[in-house]
Chains A and B, each alone.
Chain A
């Protein structure tokens, strides 16, 4: 229906922007989950990929070319995957301090360090949501981003239509 109303070019543009907006929203949620768990004490290997995820997804929304959108979405997906794998495989995650109440009483183990293990699940959830955002972006870029060929085709159509109109006027 939309295609008949707007034409294939406009419909693709509209859907492409919609899908990439969804990807940005997913990246935003993923960033929130990962960052809230890794900012204090800062876990660099999780924190910075989460921030990059959001900004690169936003860049994909602003970009126009199919290749650029696809590349940026793939980077978002890889960053999400990096966060998930870090936690799942136990690489680059903060060391769990020896936890006993004595440590807390004497100030040896601060409350935030004590909660590190609990926070890992949020980081994982953030990574999964970010990776999902990346996949959505890849889908949007592949299916709805326009190509140069389509633009050239529509230009040719317009020229033919113009010639037809001229002929009618002459008649």
Chain B
């Protein structure tokens, strides 16, 4: 329908921009989930990939070339996989703090709840993976 109204070239461009927008939105949601759980105390192995996911996801909106969009989507996918695996395989995760440490003042509340918040970076990683795959599909098809 769209193709007959505005031509195949414009249709492709429009759909590509639409998918890039979806990737940017998914990257934003992923970044929000990851950063909120890893900013205090700062948890470097997950915090920085979260930022990278947002920047590269949004950059895919601005680029025109197919190969560039594919590359950016792949980076988003890789950062998402990294975050997800960190949480699931328990690599580079913050150590659990005992309740006694909180009572004795050896640990603060943010350190105490850090292991509980691990679920948020995990979900953020999965959303980034989904965004990356959507970006790859968009780059290859449109």
Collect the chain B residues with CB atoms within 8 Å of residue A36's CB: 119-120, 122-123
Taking CB atoms and an 8 Å cut-off, the chain B residues in 81-124 that contact chain A are: 87-88, 96, 98-100, 103, 112-113, 115-116, 118-120, 122-123
Taking CB atoms and an 8 Å cut-off, the chain A residues in 8-51 that contact chain B are: 10, 13-14, 28, 31-32, 35-37, 39-40, 42, 51
* Contact across chains for A110 and B115 when beta carbons are under 8 A apart: yes
Contact of B115 among A10, A35, A40, A101 (CB under 8 A): A40
* Contact across chains for A40 and B99 when beta carbons are under 8 A apart: no
State in angstroms the CA–CA spacing of A52 and B99 once bound together: 37
* Contact across chains for B99 and A104 when beta carbons are under 8 A apart: yes
Is A141 an interface residue when CB atoms closer than 8 A count as contact? no
* Contact across chains for B1 and A6 when beta carbons are under 8 A apart: yes
* Contact across chains for B116 and A115 when beta carbons are under 8 A apart: yes
User: Which of B's residues lie within 8 Å of A, judged by CB?
Assistant: 1, 87-88, 96, 98-100, 103, 112-113, 115-116, 118-120, 122-123, 126-127, 130, 134, 137
State in angstroms the CA–CA spacing of A31 and B130 once bound together: 11
Contact of A39 among B1, B123, B127, B130 (CB under 8 A): B123
10 residue pairs of the A-B complex, CB under 8 angstroms, read A13-B1, A37-B119, A39-B88, A40-B118, A42-B88, A54-B130, A58-B134, A101-B99, A104-B99, A106-B100
Give the 10 A-B CB pairs with smallest separation, nearest first: A39-B122, A107-B98, A104-B99, A40-B118, A10-B1, A105-B100, A105-B99, A36-B123, A40-B119, A36-B119
* Contact across chains for B122 and A35 when beta carbons are under 8 A apart: yes
Interface residues on A, range: 20 to 34
State in angstroms the CA–CA spacing of A50 and B89 once bound together: 18
Is A62 an interface residue when CB atoms closer than 8 A count as contact? yes
Contacts A14-B1, A31-B126, A111-B113 given; indicate if A39 touches B96 (C-beta within 8 A).
no
